[in-house]
């Protein structure tokens, strides 16, 4: 049942990373764009590791590990009682961790995707400010 949520998130994050890589490669972007891509992907990998392995937050009496897909859930009835961990199947837990990792990379690559979009779609103008017609 958990794969109904995990697979679309993982596919979207993985596809966006691959599509941005392909976009930069086909567009023959200069080396500074590739350096930015590498730096952002590296920082995204660090963010993804934090999302998957270290991020924990509490909502009411529920303790959640991982973001955006929970890799572990604990709960308690009263605030004074200890946390009771609800075991998740290994496939769901590892799938959630991989999705969290990919989501961190995709999130950090968003600024370069926006910059590439604006670079490709800016209207080129001549010295008088009139649009240049490429045809």
pLDDT above 60: residue 135: no
Structure tokens at 71: 């890799």
pLDDT above 80: residue 113: yes
Structure tokens at 40: 């952002």
38-94 pLDDT, tens per residue? 999 999 999 999 999 999 999 988 999 999 999 999 999 888 888 899 989 999 999
Structure tokens at 29: 């972007």
Asked whether the beta carbons of 77 and 71 are under 8 A apart, the reply is no
């Amino acid at each position: 049942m958990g794969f109904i949520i995990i697979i679309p998130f993982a596919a979207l994050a993985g596809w966006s990373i691959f599509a941005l890589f392909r976009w930069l490669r086909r567009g023959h972007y200069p080396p500074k764009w590739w350096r930015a891509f590498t730096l952002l992907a590296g920082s995204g990998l660090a963010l993804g590791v934090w999302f998957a392995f270290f991020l924990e937050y509490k909502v009411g009496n529920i303790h959640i590990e991982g973001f955006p897909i929970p890799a572990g859930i604990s709960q308690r009835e009263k605030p004074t009682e200890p946390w009771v961990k609800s075991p998740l199947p290994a496939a769901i837990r590892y799938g959630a961790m991989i999705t969290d990792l990919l989501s961190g990379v995709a999130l950090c690559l968003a600024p370069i995707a926006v910059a590439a979009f604006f670079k490709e779609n800016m209207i080129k103008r001549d010295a008088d400010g009139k649009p240049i017609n490429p045809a």
